[in-house]
Amino acid sequence: MPQSPQLVTSPEEREALAREMRRCTDRLGSLLVGHHIQESLDAANLQMEPDLLGSHGPKALKNDGKVPVTIRTAQGHDVRVSVTYDRCKGQRRAGRRYAGGYAGVVL
């Protein structure tokens, strides 16, 4: 991200430069938030919580492994994290995804 200094000679250029810097820092902040979310989802002490949440539901759930999920941050940027997808056991409807959810995101 290091850039050579820009010569700002008018208020309009200063505003444009400030908007560009804000956009870049918002995106960087969103990526850092996504990194922290992923680290939290991968933490050992959080691995058992989704299993407990799923076991107390009306139906038994099956773990389908990790799938990529897009999360929108407070800055409005989308970040991708890998989350475990738990689905209901049994038959699925033709051509549709298994009914389930992302317990790790809920926690």
Question: Between 50 and 68, whose confidence is greater?
Answer: 68
Angle made by CA atoms 53, 55, 61, in degrees to the nearest 5: 105
Give the model confidence (pLDDT) of 60-84 as tens digits. Answer: 677 777 888 898 988 888 999 988 8
**pTM score of the predicted model:** 0.64
Q: Where are the domains of the chain?
A: 11-106
- For residues 27 and 35, give the distance between their C-alpha atoms in angstroms, rounded to a whole number: 12
